[in-house]
Amino acid sequence: MQKWDGRVLVLAHVKELIEQAVDKLHVMAPDLWHQIGCYSAGLKSRDTDHAIIVAGIQSVYRRAAQLDAFDIILVDEAHMIPTGGSGGEGMYRQFLADAKVVNPNVRLIGLTATPYRMTSGTICGPAPDHLLNHVCYEVGVRELIAQGYLCPLVTKAGRRKADTSNLHSRAGEFIAGEVEALMDDDGLVHSACREILEQTGDRHSVLIFAAGVKHALHVQRILEELGHQCGFVCGETLPFERDKTLTDFKNGDLKYLVNVNVLTTGFDAPIIDCVVLLRPTNSPGLFYQSVGRGFRLHPDKTNCLVLDFGGNILRHGPVDALQIKDKSERKGSNEAAGQRMSQLPGIDPCILQHLPGLRS
């Protein structure tokens, strides 16, 4: 069998994903460990001459020539690539354009569990607005659970539900200030915290998604007043505090952890056996990514409990049959009058491929 001597680049947008990719590659292909490099300012590594490089897009988006030619570029969390039509000529587009100059035959593959955006619908489409043009492989959540690759989910709605009918949307998502004001009601927080404790007595690790910093700190305070330590992380948490909190949570030394918009992607903690949604979201992608933190397999869990206090399951459907409104359908079209709901299976992963010169 002839050995392939090409080069592969894996791009990610956060440090945690870069570290996880390197670690998983070492586990899955130990014979290639000496060929795996990392280019990330945050990880203080700038490898450039390896056959396989995992890189942070922020560190390399102006350095395609320095990294030299690649035959395949894999983009993790491919829904983060902006569309040209949205004015998103960002870091991914700049790097990929320069990489194509270095090697006109480079192939681009995107991997994501959520192949859609609230603002533009599915991320696959014709060039030039879309870098990813075709779905070449997909597998559903139900199939992955049946085959033993993902952990089953058990979903329950919170007893006391917030009325989200008066929330307004901006760019497809509920306005954050309105959501936090709604969910930070003292009676609702007390009721939710008591129910969380009732439902999670036999659970090991409970990840809570709050509506904002004030709301998260309120939840943390009530849980601790009820006798249970609860960690807290948000975008402003200092790195050393965040690292210690997440380490304690992953190790099982901290059972409850509340976060604000930071642990939806790039957070791999297989021990999580309960996800609590203390916020409504109008984004099916955010809903899926949040719930997806509980999909990982772990020897100490048989399923993952999802407690939904935001009506998200009713709004979006189950994660294996999410209902997505495509952008063209939201605006109306000649082919479809009004708004028609299209269903996409829960996909993990969905792989999308662009071949140079190919058009849909």
Reported as a single tens digit per residue, the pLDDT across 188-235 is: 999 999 999 999 999 999 999 999 999 999 999 999 999 999 999 999
The pLDDT assigned to 345 comes to 38
Q: What is the pLDDT of residues 110-130, one digit of tens each?
A: 998 877 765 666 788 887 778
Question: For residue 304, which of 152, 197, 196, 150 has the smallest C-alpha distance?
Answer: 152
pLDDT at residue 341 above 50? no
CA distance 215 to 245: 19
Question: For residue 158, which of 114, 209, 204, 233 has the smallest C-alpha distance?
Answer: 209
Whether a cis peptide bond, with omega within 30° of 0, leads into 82 is no
pLDDT at residue 326 above 80? no
Q: In terms of DSSP H, where are the helices of the chain?
A: 15-28, 57-60, 64-67, 91-102, 141-146, 176-183, 186-199, 213-225, 239-251, 284-291, 312-316, 327-331
The pLDDT assigned to 339 comes to 31
CA distance 32 to 216: 43
pLDDT at residue 281 above 80? yes
CA distance 37 to 255: 35
What would the mean pLDDT of 311-337 be, rounded to a whole number? 62
Task: Judge residue 161's burial from the number of C-beta atoms within 10 Å of its C-beta, 0-12 exposed, 13-18 middle, 19 or more buried.
Answer: middle
C-alpha 140: how far from chain center: 16
Q: What is the pLDDT of residues 234-280, one digit of tens each?
A: 999 998 999 999 999 999 999 999 999 999 877 889 999 999 999 99
Say if CB 356 and CB 104 are below 8 A apart. yes
What would the mean pLDDT of 140-162 be, rounded to a whole number? 91
The torsion angles phi and psi of 66, rounded to 5 degrees, stand at: -65, -35
Domains of the chain: 8-112 (3.40.50.300), 148-344 (3.40.50.300)
Q: In terms of DSSP H, where are the helices of 91-185?
A: 91-102, 141-146, 176-183
Looking at per-residue confidence, does 347 or 55 come out higher? Answer: 55
**Could you give the maximum distance between any two Cα atoms of the chain, in Å?**
67
Looking at per-residue confidence, does 14 or 301 come out higher? Answer: 301
The pLDDT assigned to 83 comes to 64
Quick one: pLDDT band at residue 333, thresholds 50, 70, 90?
A: very low
The pLDDT assigned to 207 comes to 98
The torsion angles phi and psi of 59, rounded to 5 degrees, stand at: -85, -25
What would the mean pLDDT of 292-310 be, rounded to a whole number? 95
User: Can you name the residues that pair with 12 across neighbouring β-strands?
Assistant: 56
Q: Outline where DSSP puts E strands in the chain.
A: 8-12, 36-40, 45-46, 52-56, 72-76, 107-112, 116-117, 121-122, 134-140, 153-157, 169-170, 173-174, 206-209, 230-233, 256-259, 274-277, 304-308, 322-324, 342-344, 347-354
pLDDT at residue 353 above 70? no
What would the mean pLDDT of 328-354 be, rounded to a whole number? 37
CA distance 101 to 190: 58
Q: Extract long-range pairs of 36-39: CB within 8 Å, 24+ residues apart.
A: 39/63, 39/67
The pLDDT assigned to 267 comes to 86
What would the mean pLDDT of 300-318 be, rounded to a whole number? 93
pLDDT at residue 327 above 70? no
Say if CB 85 and CB 331 are below 8 A apart. no
Structure tokens at 158: 């919170």
Question: For residue 199, which of 253, 256, 274 has the smallest C-alpha distance?
Answer: 274
Q: Extract long-range pairs of 219-228: CB within 8 Å, 24+ residues apart.
A: 219/189, 219/192, 219/193, 219/258, 219/278, 220/258, 222/189, 222/190, 222/193, 223/193, 223/196, 223/197, 223/256, 223/258, 226/193, 226/194, 226/197, 228/197, 228/255, 228/256
Q: What is the mean pLDDT of the chain?
A: 85
The pLDDT assigned to 344 comes to 38
Quick one: pLDDT band at residue 84, thresholds 50, 70, 90?
A: low
Buried b (16+ CB within 10 A) or exposed e, 115-138: bbbbbbbbbbbeeeebbbbebeee
The pLDDT assigned to 285 comes to 85
- What's this model's pTM, rounded to 2 decimal places? 0.79
Q: What is the pLDDT of residues 24-46, one digit of tens each?
A: 999 999 998 899 999 999 899 99
Q: Is 126 helix (H, G, I), strand (E, B) or coil?
A: coil
Quick one: pLDDT band at residue 334, thresholds 50, 70, 90?
A: very low
